[in-house]
Amino acid sequence: MSKLTYSIFITYLLLGIYVLVIAIQTPFIGIAIDTTSGQPVIVKSYYPDWAQQQNIEKGDILVTIDQQLAEEKIMMGKPHTLRSAHELTILKADGFVHSIPVKHTDMPEELFIHIVFPLLYFALSFGVAIYLWKRNRENQLTNLLILFLLTCSLAYTSIGASGREDLLGKMVMGHCIVLCFVVFIHFLQHYYYFLHIKWPFFHAKWLYLLPILITFCYFLEMYDSRFKMITPIVILGLFGILVLSAICILITGYLRTHSAKIRLIAIALIVPFLPFLFLFVIPEIFRYTPILQAEFSALFLLFIPFSFVFIQVNERLFDIEYQLSRLRYYCALAFFSAFVITLGLSIFLVNHLSITLLTAIFVLVFLVNIASFYLKEQLDFKHRKVIFSSNGDYVHSLYAAVNRMGNAKNQQDLLARFTYEITEKLGTTDFTIETITEDVSLARGEVNARDQKTQLLIYDSADEKIVLLISHTLQKEELLWLELLALYVSMLIDSLKLIEDLVLEIQHMKVTNNTPLPWLDKLLWNIIEKEKGILAQELHDTILQEQLHLARELDVLAGSPSIKGEKVRAIREQLLNAAKDLREYCENLSPPLLDTLGLHIALKKLIQKVNIRANFLLNTQIERVHFQDLSLHLVVYRIVQELFNNAIKHAEATEVSLRLLALDRGFVLQYDDNGIGCNIEALMQSSASMGINGIRERVRAFNGDMTITSKENEGMHIYIKIQEEGENIHD
């Protein structure tokens, strides 16, 4: 354990024990006292049920506190709140002196809220923090999450000491309320870097100045008591701003990436703070009566330690969507059972349990039920593994991974995709894939887990061995997932090598022996002839028809007794137009702007040309799209080009709309016109379908989706969506 980590854990333990001891030493009673009459008169009790049981009423005079005169312990002439005591003596209106011993057990709300729940939260948070630190000692993201967890725990644990006006307890609570979200925003910054998301906000290190501001406010309290009213507002205001800032950061990140991980973090770590923010902090800042007191609205923070089990991805194999659905399912079951139990207690103990205590019991039973469901799941997986043989997140994850890796073009691409799957699903980057030539004492697909390291032989041949080395141990379900995926990778490598060998053999046969390959020649011939047919059709319908028309014009001119200059100039103009059209065809065959200035400029130029030629109103929306496969730029250009050609030649439309929308690793193309439309089945059988079929084949070549909707006299609507698969594995 490093010195810094050691210091953090020791500080957490010492402060946590201190604030818990303060809360345990003296019961909290919270009796409001009016001293303006010269006597300490009881006005209100924080726990009215306890006050009623002890026969404490409004107007009673407080005589002694812990066997000391009340006038000596209370500043007379000002309103005062008696926060804690072991024994009280009160004078009733009829002159009867009543002595009251104060015990934690007499006030169940105080016992649970100030002692039991904070103690549970303290121990649970410390245990989770130690567990996470042992499994991920060198991971900065994990360290920041651990610090966030411990800071939240200290803030909640110090409720009792702060409520008793203990100075150190107040300072711990005030600093930790703000510091926990400073650490959380710091974590988000590093997490965005980990996901390769641009961080558009200021650097989180400047937020660590805020606890210094709070310390300054507490020092001012020592010199001027008026600051006791200002300091809580400053702390709560900073807390509210930081919570809203974290929410904005998560929303912007989710809208840009649609990452389920960001959504999970928001649900697990932000939602528990919202009741405290909206039910206590905001009303308190604006000087309204809080809807729910701080110690009750903060009960939802008990969810945070449990959440860490699910958001910890560094050595945890799970599919986030699966975990979220499972968590929702368990929460529904736990809510129902907790509601039934709480309802039963309220019926049988209606005169002994307050609303506050029932709420606390409901939350406790709810959390215990969720924990029990997950414990049962772990026991079932260990002792009744057959239950998990046909379902579970690792099966779904394995299927999705194999599906993505099946599109690899070569061995290097396959291993890159395999690296991505390990990083994404095991949540670790502490591994290497090595290609070696020496022998290893493992069979293909065999795993060797020893000395906190995991070694797996992915591929084995006479020439090379591909070995995966992970610098830590894995859980059993993770090993199972990795072994199965490695077997698929091994088989895919064999297949890719067979394909590569076949291609090399074909090339060798063609170069050395000039051996004819009828099937290959036929395939290439069909492709070439098809492209030649498309080009021939285009030239026949445009340039050739224009040239025949000009030839007839020249025949008429040759037979005329006199040659008019205007006629010659008209023919010359037509020849120039034909040459211009031919030049455009050459540009269309190989658009120069696409290679020099990019797809966006090339499409803008194409749209300008269409606007000149077309007799319809063209509306376009062209977004900038970026692809890792550069051939996709040409595909988009060809599709748009073909859609415009069809609109000009066949649609007879007055309005045409084209929208190119960027997606993550892909695009959506939407074409609409109000032309004559057609019968789709009849179109596919006619020669006019050459352009549409060309678009369809281009889309199919990139595993895209294409939908055509059209009826006669109802226009045509085309929807195309193409996304690259697995091309962001290096991001």
pLDDT at 673: 92
pLDDT of residue 16: 92
pLDDT value at residue 688: 52
Write phi, then psi, for 32 (nearest 5 degrees). -80, 130
pLDDT at 315: 38
Predicted local distance difference test score (pLDDT) of residue 553? 73
CA-based nearest residue to 633, from 671, 610, 672, 601:
601
Q: What span, in angstroms and rounded, lies between the C-alpha atoms of 361 and 341?
A: 9
Q: Please answer whether residues 33 and 82 qualify as being in contact, where contact means their C-beta atoms are separated by less than 8 angstroms.
A: yes
Q: Which pLDDT value is given to residue 413?
A: 81
CA torsion angle 556 561 563 568 (round to 10): 0
Which amino acid is located at 134 in the chain?
A: K
Task: Name residue, tokens 């009790």.
Answer: 45
- Residue 388 CB: number of other CB atoms within 10 A? 16
Instruction: Give the torsion sign (CA, 566, 567, 570, 575).
Output: negative
Q: Whole-model pTM above 0.75? A: no
> Token pair of 145, please?
């999450």
List, in sequence order, the alpha helices (H) in 511-591. Answer: 518-539, 545-558, 565-589
Question: In this structure, which long-range contacts are made by residues 536-542, counting pairs with CB atoms below 8 Å and at least 24 apart in sequence?
Answer: 537/690, 538/585, 539/585, 541/649, 542/581, 542/585
The reported pLDDT for the residue numbered 347 is 80
Q: 601-626 burial, b if ≥16 CB within 10 A, otherwise e? A: ebbebbbeebeeebebebebebeebe
Cα 670 from Cα 706, distance rounded (Å): 10
Instruction: Output the CA torsion sign for 205, 207, 213, 214.
Output: negative
Q: Which two tokens stand for residue 647?
A: 């609109």
Residues in the chain, total? 731
In three-state secondary structure terms, 450 is strand
Contact 704, 718 (CB under 8 A): no
CA distance to 591, 593, 601, 621, 666, per residue, from 596 (Å): 9, 5, 9, 22, 21
Determine the Cα–Cα distance for residues 497 and 408; give it in Å rounded to an integer: 12
Give which of 469, 441, 443, 466 is closest to 455, Cα–Cα.
Answer: 469
SS3 311: helix
pLDDT at 101 (0 to 100)? 92
Chain centre to alpha carbon of residue 194: 12
Task: List average pLDDT for each run of 10 residues in the chain, which is 731 residues long.
Answer: 79 92 92 86 88 88 88 75 90 88 88 89 86 72 84 91 90 92 89 79 87 88 78 90 90 79 77 85 85 79 66 43 64 86 80 73 84 76 50 61 77 83 74 81 75 78 81 72 82 82 72 61 66 71 72 72 72 76 69 76 87 87 84 85 86 90 88 87 61 79 85 88 63 36
Q: How far is it, in rounded angstroms, from Cα 425 to Cα 481? A: 10
